[in-house]
Amino acid sequence: MKPIFIAGPCVIESAEVLDVVAEELVRLQQKYDLELFFKASFDKANRTSLSSFRGPGLERGLQMLADVKAKHGLRLLTDIHESYQAAAAAEVVDVLQIPAFLCRQTDLLVAAAKTGKVVNIKKAQFLSGVDMQYPVEKAREGGATEVWLTERGNSFGYNNLVVDFRNIPDMLKWTPRVIMDCTHSVQRPGAAGGKTGGNREFVPAMAMAAKAFGATGYFFETHPNPDHALSDGPNMLALKDLEEVIKNLCK
């Protein structure tokens, strides 16, 4: 199975950032013949602090994503946090993503499934790979014809995540498409004074380890200047460094 790549900024900051990232992804897609999806969130409803930047919202955010698709021809992925967002998002994007903390929310899974779009379910930080059988079953029984799973580490408190790569083969029992979230897995939740920290230097190793365990896709949040990103900067991969990681994964 040819691996897929999901990449883009954490949250929609501006049309300019979207264009810069999209242009580089188009170049990489053509150079390496990638199965690639552009990812950005119209609303980050799970930020650590109430004052944190969340994005432009549903209506404006979906229009900006639609502009990316029209201008660059990229397939799109975005996450939804509320059931009512599913139908509207499905008019624009190709993949609806269920955030990790919400992967057991039945109504959200079923709403996404009913759209007929691919549903990518991120494994909760409090679940094992084996436990993901049940979210997959909910989505399929809700009408989804294609369901993906994404590994992003487990939380044991103390502002850290631990990745058990055995989750990848465990989840491959339930769906043939298991993606490694190489950037969220290096987060340090709540460890940066009211916002999430991270260790982006470990992203390449996370990707290669996931490949060794049979991952069939890779997720990278990337930004032209991660240190000035409005969300998840410490764990995001610098856009200039993305090609080297992808090149190594494609060998």
The three-state secondary structure class of 147 is strand
Dihedral, CA of residue 204, residue 210, residue 211 and residue 216, to nearest 10: -120
Could you tell me which residues are beta bridge partners of residue 155? 161
Q: Which CATH architecture has domain 4-250?
A: Alpha-Beta Barrel (3.20)
Of the candidates 251, 216, 218, 223, the one whose C-alpha atom is nearest the C-alpha of residue 237 is: 223
Distances (CA, A) of 119 to 80, 126, 156, 226: 11, 20, 27, 28
Q: What is the pLDDT of residue 191?
A: 47
pLDDT in tens, 140-175: 999 999 999 999 999 887 788 999 999 999 999 999
In sequence order, what E strands does 57-158 have?
75-79, 95-98, 118-122, 147-151, 154-155
Sequence ranges of the domains in the chain:
4-250
* 187-188 vs 197-198, strand pairing mode: antiparallel
So what's the pLDDT on residue 138?
A: 98
